[in-house]
Amino acid sequence: MPMPRTVHGCVATVAAAIALTFASAAGADAQTKVTIGKVIGGDGFHVPTYVALDEGFFKAEGLDVTLVELQAAAQVTAVLSGNLDCAPIPSGGAQAALSGAKIEYIVGESLKSQWTITARQDIAKPEDLKGKTLGLGRPGGADYDEAQAVLHRFFHMDAGKDYKVISFQGEPERIAAMVNNDIQGAALSIPHAVVAQQTGLKVLLRTGDYIPRAGGTIWCMQSFVEQHPDTVKKIIRAIAKAVMYFRTNKEGSIKVMEHHIGSIKSDAEAGAIWDQLHDSYGAEVPKDLFADILESRRQTMIAARQWPVDKPLPDPEGFLARDLLDSTLKDMNYVPANLTAPSKGD
């Protein structure tokens, strides 16, 4: 089903995009309709959502789920304005929560940082990026913050001082810019990094080797969670089933990734992505990783003078439907992820 391709955060435009999506979703009135955001072009952090849709796990729970393709910032706006039910944009949710929005996170997806710093072949090691130009996302986004954090903490390199930054919304555009030597390195998620390697570029480092991260954690308005707890439980179960499916079913997972991640062009590329990511997902939301989402956003807000330096972080658990999540996973005998700690230390 074609999805809207471009939304710029305007509430009216977001509403129109969602209405267009619903126009082709008629016929499932017996099921509960739910809308969940999807980043443009798809990405590795949200694979359980894609699996739950394509493999029928949402449907089996009695849910008629529609993935609405919007830019990350537009997804946040859409949920806050009531035009979208849920969004898998944890950092944007944290910004909203710390700014006073009444939201709740309900289920996890990725439990490992999936960003890479990918570069041209003449860049032999991360230190060779000094004096070069990198393509990152917008400041405050994971594809900026995580790349910058690894370069700062582990290689003592800072944006603006040791390397220049050009912000790109889309990852395919970063790949093209590297191929043209307009930039020499970029932050790419693993699916796009695999594709970039086919063009002759190379992965310098994987941020997951240095820092953990709860990515793609799904959140909704608190009112949605309170008014529809049974629907939330069904979303949790569907995502948890998708996580366990992806761990072991390579063939089926390849088809799902090819359907939802636009840059993947072959079974070989999708298979290489599965090999790297199949054990990286968890519906559970570990307390430490969840707290990191909020604390990272608090630090960004402090730097932007949007949060007082001496004001502590509120209890992160107040923004998570912990009892609902944990009880649902326990009741379905969900098997938690078995992740190794990052291999690189400070």
Question: What dihedral angle (degrees, nearest 10) is formed by the CA atoms of 138, 141, 145, 146?
Answer: -120
All structural domains of the chain with their residue ranges = 11-112+213-331, 115-210
Q: What is the pLDDT of residue 25?
A: 44
Radius of gyration from C-alpha coordinates of the chain:
19
Q: What is the pLDDT of residue 15?
A: 56
Say yes or no: do domains 11-112+213-331 and 115-210 share a fold.
Answer: yes
pTM: 0.82
The 10 Å Cβ neighbour count of residue 242 is 26
Q: What is the pLDDT of residue 21?
A: 52
Find the length of the chain.
346
Nearest to 39 by CA among 109, 101, 135, 105: 109
- Over the chain (346 residues), the average pLDDT of each successive run of 10 is 38 54 49 94 92 98 97 93 96 94 97 92 96 90 85 93 92 94 95 90 92 90 98 98 97 96 89 92 95 88 92 97 98 89 67
The 10 Å Cβ neighbour count of residue 141 is 19
Place of tokens 């999540």: 325
Nearest to 255 by CA among 240, 267, 269: 267
Q: What is the pLDDT of residue 3?
A: 39
CATH class, domain 115-210, is alpha beta
Query: Which homologous superfamily does the CATH classification assign to the domain defined by 11-112+213-331?
Result: Periplasmic binding protein-like II (3.40.190.10)
